[in-house]
C-alpha cells in the first residue's frame, strides 16, 4: 500500500531513525531491508517502496550519516568559543574522538561505512571529499596557530593538518576496538601529547 502524501515525510524520518539504529548496532554488514523493517515494526514490502535496491538503502544510510554528523554535538568547539589557532585545532580534533557513548556510536558507523565506500568508486570519491574538506578546515587552524606563534613554521600546513587527521582517525579505530584501554581521559591525553609534539618539533 502506498502511503498518503502527508504520511510520506513522517515515514521517511521513521525510516532514517531505524536505519541509524540498525547501523549503530550491526554496521553496514547488517543493514538489510529486513533489518530496517523489523526495527520499524513494518513489512519488508513497505520498505521496498522507499528503497528499490540495496544500493538505494546504502545511499540513504550514508545521507543519514552525513546529516547526523553535520548536526552532531561539538562540545569542545562550543567550549572553545571564538578561539583561533591551536585551541580551535584541538577542539575540532577532540570533537572527532569517541569521548562519549553518542560519539562512539557515530564513529562506529563512520568506520563501518569505509567498507561500503571503498567498494564503490562514487561513494569513495564522496568520502575522500569529506575528509579533504575537513583537512582544509584544519589547515586554516594550523595557519592561524602559526601566525600566533603557537606552531613552528617549516612544513607545509597541509601536511600538519593531514598528519593530525590521521592521528585522530587511527585513535578512533583503536578506541572503538578497545574502549577499556582508551577511555576518554587517555584519548584526550594522547591528543594533547600529540599537539605538544608538533608544537615542539
Binding site for a second copy (CB under 8 A): 25-30, 108, 111-119, 124, 127-128, 131-132, 155, 159, 162-163, 165-174, 176-178, 181-182, 186, 189-190, 193-194, 196-198, 200-201
Judged on CB neighbours under 10 Å (0-12, 13-18, 19+), 176 is middle
Q: Which is nearer to a second copy, 83 or 105 (CB)?
A: 105
Residue 178 C-beta: closest distance to a second copy, Å: 5
Q: Which is nearer to a second copy, 50 or 114 (CB)?
A: 114
Q: Which is nearer to a second copy, 54 or 72 (CB)?
A: 54
Tell me the residue ranges of DSSP E strands in 124-196: none
Judged on CB neighbours under 10 Å (0-12, 13-18, 19+), 38 is middle
Residue 90 C-beta: closest distance to a second copy, Å: 15
Q: Which is nearer to a second copy, 28 or 76 (CB)?
A: 28
Residue 124 C-beta: closest distance to a second copy, Å: 6
Amino acid at each position: 500500500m502506498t502511503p498518503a502524501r502527508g504520511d510520506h515525510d513522517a515515514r521517511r524520518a521513521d525510516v532514517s531513525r531505524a536505519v541509524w539504529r540498525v547501523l549503530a548496532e550491526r554496521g553496514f554488514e547488517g543493514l538489510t531491508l529486513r533489518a530496517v523493517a523489523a526495527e520499524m515494526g513494518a513489512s519488508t514490502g513497505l520498505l521496498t517502496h522507499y528503497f528499490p535496491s540495496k544500493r538505494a538503502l546504502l545511499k540513504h544510510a550514508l545521507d543519514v550519516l552525513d546529516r547526523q554528523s553535520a548536526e552532531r554535538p561539538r562540545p569542545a568547539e562550543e567550549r572553545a568559543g571564538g578561539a583561533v589557532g591551536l585551541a580551535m585545532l584541538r577542539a575540532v580534533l577532540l570533537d572527532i574522538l569517541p569521548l562519549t557513548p553518542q560519539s562512539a556510536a557515530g564513529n562506529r558507523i563512520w568506520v563501518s561505512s569505509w567498507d561500503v565506500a571503498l567498494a564503490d568508486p562514487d561513494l569513495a570519491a564522496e568520502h575522500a571529499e569529506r575528509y579533504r574538506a575537513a583537512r582544509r578546515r584544519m589547515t586554516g587552524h594550523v595557519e592561524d596557530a602559526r601566525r600566533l606563534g603557537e606552531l613552528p613554521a617549516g612544513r607545509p600546513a597541509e601536511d600538519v593538518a593531514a598528519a593530525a587527521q590521521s592521528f585522530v582517525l587511527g585513535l578512533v579505530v583503536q578506541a572503538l576496538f578497545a574502549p577499556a584501554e582508551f577511555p576518554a581521559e587517555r584519548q584526550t591525553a594522547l591528543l594533547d601529547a600529540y599537539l605538544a609534539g608538533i608544537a615542539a618539533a
